[in-house]
Structure 1
């Protein structure tokens, strides 16, 4: 499972180790991680205001993320005593092969992936069930949630995934840091995985 943010090109993607996975197993840290990708550099105070938390809590979680190189301090950018933090350029990958054979690593991966997917699902549900009607017609018309089932081999599925990934990388490279009137951050998602084979038992019994 890959999470790609702020990739000006098909940037090198970091496979998360057990320490980084544990850091991303906390709901508030996942929110902070996402906000830094979506909104750009933030301080503990600006994050506290966005999240309704104390600056002490956000500062603690920022340090935890930084200790595993998931975020970094913005060089030469200080506002009084405040430290500004940012996401490094590139994506992260949740890869089961990186922790295979380690019970602690596999447990950390399960929790981190569950938290990332929970937040993704909450954002999707919040938009389509309560926020889309409050958007302008222009932005409401841009929003889609599409699902289909396709019969393909593993090789064909990889080919499709690579094409979608290339399109996303191209758009990120072209528009990733765009600013100006009418520009908003847009979530672009693609979930590709094999469905459970519901016909296996029936076919083997016939």
Structure 2
């Protein structure tokens, strides 16, 4: 982010919103976001904080006119907002509002347009996340990444749970993440960097013949 910890969001959910105040995106917002470049813009604002059309264009290899157009489309659905405390008439800054966002809208999934928009958004978000993960793994082999190796976690585990136990585990993990976000959201310093926190808890597919 331009200023590390500058009003980071609470999180992005792909399943039922775990917090009562999470915004569940309606079909209109999902359709506005359902564009690969808009997902990337939304992601950068979420992870790195406020940006201008120019800074986004530089990061994404796009024209300023293109990023400006997509910023306006996102703003129409209140997915992002203009920073009122910075910038000028010629250089507008944009940010993602603080708060959790969930793409799990049961009503939207009842319509073809809602399902299609949700699928595009989820595909792009997870593609971006996978690219970031693979880049970290690749860069982790270099000496510049050594300080972060012991503080990073890439782990997969399997256990056997009931739906109720899975819900309890998910709540505990979410509480830890919430605490970290609340504690460090405005932290600054020489060694401070944006850190993405991923948590996946889901049942494996039934392969048949399993005990």
The TM-score normalised by the length of structure 2 is 0.86
Aligned partners of 2:210, 2:182: CA distance in 1, in Å? Answer: 47
Aligned partners of 1:197, 1:147: CA distance in 2, in Å? Answer: 19
- Per-residue CA deviation, residues 142-183 of structure 1 (Å, 9 max, x unaligned), is 222111111000010000101111100000000012101211
Structure 1, unaligned runs of 5 or more: none
Change in Cα spacing, 1:69 to 1:103, as seen in structure 2 (3 Å) is same
Change in Cα spacing, 1:20 to 1:141, as seen in structure 2 (3 Å) is same
* Equivalenced residues, count: 196
User: Is 1:185 paired with 2:188?
Assistant: no
Cα offset for 1:11? 7.8
Aligned partners of 2:20, 2:182: CA distance in 1, in Å? Answer: 10
User: Is 1:137 paired with 2:146?
Assistant: yes
Q: 2:93 aligns with which of 84, 90, 102?
A: 84
The residue correspondences of 1:39-58 to structure 2 (distance < 5 A) are 39-58=48-67
Cα offset for 1:116? 1.1
Partner of 1:61: 70
Partner of 2:109: 100
Change in Cα spacing, 1:184 to 1:76, as seen in structure 2 (3 Å) is closer
Partner of 1:6: 9
> Aligned to 2:62, what secondary structure does the other structure show?
coil
Aligned partners of 2:126, 2:118: CA distance in 1, in Å? Answer: 12
| Higher share of residues assigned helix | 1
Change in Cα spacing, 1:78 to 1:96, as seen in structure 2 (3 Å) is closer
Contact 1:7 1:176 in 2 (8 A): no
> Aligned to 1:183, what secondary structure does the other structure show?
coil
User: Is 1:19 paired with 2:22?
Assistant: no
> Aligned to 1:79, what secondary structure does the other structure show?
coil
If you compute each CA radius of gyration, which structure gives the higher value, 1 or 2? 1
User: Is 1:38 paired with 2:41?
Assistant: no
Aligned partners of 1:147, 1:133: CA distance in 2, in Å? Answer: 20
The TM-score normalised by the length of structure 1 is 0.88
- Root-mean-square deviation (CA, aligned residues, Å) is 1.9
> Aligned to 1:97, what secondary structure does the other structure show?
coil
